[in-house]
């Protein structure tokens, strides 16, 4: 049995940690605002406000209609999936993933930041996750933060450990839960913002499976990796049929791998089906019939410290009239190239609108 660690980015979607040599699985994902109506309403009130998302994090605007944007927040956690946790155990995400929960103040002013764990409401759990059996955590005591209040200067970050404590109750075997983490600014005289992160937890199916997962996890290697996708979402419009389209050359935008760590990282990238990720299909989009319609210049990239790397995304849709006016969603999976290293796995999203 393998224990895998996966992560992605916050109502963001970049998925995260995979330890191919182990059975515990942690995923961090980020998806952007899910509700278009909410976004349109926010834009009506604050027309200059840009989306405060890093590849998809849910953002909540708490501001009067006359306010002008004075800052923003970004987090490395969006939707985080952790699989095969054991009962009677306490886990620190920093220990099993190599990274803490981080919120960055992207604005120009110092902010007061508050982070807390909440039991999700019924509508906070996506329909696809409900179908898979996810329920709200029974108690906020299951998830704790090492620190919850911060003063964060401009362009700096706040860090906290996320501790997950599973009660020693055999009836929990095979269960699935969601906890929400809300990061928000508070104070007078500046824009107040909030970000939602969603922590998804699955419990080992049995005591035997738990023992095997813990045995496998003990052999995993935590990599000191600090990379991400910027952005984690890309929209390509008016894509023609029957010819290759180099995305960066065509629209002057693309998804890049950014390494902000002190060491080079070697990463594997591939196009994967949406169903093999913690993501859901964006409303109005469908999965492409062939994943090879989106290609990269390589399947392995070595990214030096403080460097951005273009993956060389190219679309090549067949000259098939049935594809006209279709909306297709491609997903890129980015993970450590070494299967023995536990690192962050990000999922990038490419939305294609066909002519």
- Residue 276 burial (CB < 10 Å; 0-12/13-18/19+)? exposed
Residue finishing a domain among 192, 222, 252 = 222
Q: Give me the residues paired with residue 32 across strands.
A: none
239: enclosing H helix or E strand: strand 233-239
Instruction: State the pLDDT at residue 246.
Output: 96
Successive 10-residue mean pLDDT values, the chain, 355 residues: 36 30 43 38 32 28 32 77 88 76 87 94 86 93 94 89 94 95 76 83 90 70 69 92 94 90 88 85 92 96 91 96 95 84 77 95
Q: Give me the residues paired with residue 352 across strands.
A: 236, 328
Q: How far is CA 125 from CA 46, 151, 202, 236, 312, in A?
A: 28, 31, 14, 29, 35
List the CATH number of the domain containing 324. 2.60.40.10
Residue 10 lies in a domain: no
d(CA 224, CA 234): 28
Residue finishing a domain among 168, 195, 222 = 222
- β-pairing verdict for 157-160 and 79-85: unpaired
Are 190 and 98 part of one and the same domain? yes
The widest CA-to-CA distance across the chain, in whole angstroms, is: 59
- Give pTM, 2 decimals: 0.61
Closest CA to 257 of 298, 292, 229: 229
Instruction: State the pLDDT at residue 226.
Output: 72
Residue 37 lies in a domain: yes
Are 165 and 35 part of one and the same domain? yes
Q: Which residues span the domain enclosing 277?
A: 227-354
Instruction: State the pLDDT at residue 245.
Output: 95
d(CA 47, CA 337): 42
């Amino acid at each position: 049995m393998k224990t895998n660690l996966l992560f992605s980015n916050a109502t963001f979607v970049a998925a995260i940690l995979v330890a191919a040599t182990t059975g515990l699985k942690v995923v961090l994902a980020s998806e952007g605002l899910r509700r278009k109506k909410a976004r349109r309403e926010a834009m009506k009130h604050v027309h200059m406000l840009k989306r405060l998302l890093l590849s998809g994090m849910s953002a909540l605007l708490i501001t009067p209609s006359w306010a002008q944007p004075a800052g923003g927040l970004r987090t490395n956690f969006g939707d985080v999936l952790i699989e095969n946790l054991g009962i009677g155990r306490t886990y620190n995400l920093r220990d099993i993933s190599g990274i803490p929960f981080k919120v960055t103040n992207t604005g120009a002013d110092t902010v007061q930041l508050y982070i807390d764990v909440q039991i999700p409401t019924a509508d906070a759990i996506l329909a696809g996750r409900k179908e898979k059996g996810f329920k709200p955590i029974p108690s906020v005591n299951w998830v704790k933060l090492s620190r919850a209040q911060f003063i964060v200067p401009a362009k700096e970050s706040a860090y906290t450990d996320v501790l997950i404590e599973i009660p020693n109750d055999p009836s929990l075997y095979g269960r699935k839960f969601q906890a929400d983490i809300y990061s928000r600014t508070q104070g007078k005289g500046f824009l107040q913002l909030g970000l939602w992160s969603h922590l998804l937890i699955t419990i080992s199916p049995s005591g035997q499976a738990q023992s095997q997962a813990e045995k496998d996890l003990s052999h995993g290697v935590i990599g000191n990796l600090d990379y991400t996708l910027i952005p984690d979402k890309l929209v390509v419009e008016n894509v023609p049929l029957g010819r290759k389209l180099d995305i960066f050359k065509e629209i002057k935008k693309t998804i890049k791998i950014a390494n902000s760590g002190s060491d080079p990282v070697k990463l594997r990238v591939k196009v994967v089906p949406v169903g093999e990720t913690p993501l859901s299909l964006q409303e109005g989009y469908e999965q492409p019939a062939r994943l090879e319609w989106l290609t990269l210049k390589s399947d392995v990239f070595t990214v030096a410290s403080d460097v951005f790397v273009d993956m060389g995304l190219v679309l090549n849709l067949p000259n098939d009239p049935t594809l006209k006016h279709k909306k297709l969603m491609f997903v890129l999976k980015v993970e450590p190239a070494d299967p023995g290293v536990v690192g962050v796995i990000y999922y990038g999203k490419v939305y294609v609108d066909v002519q």
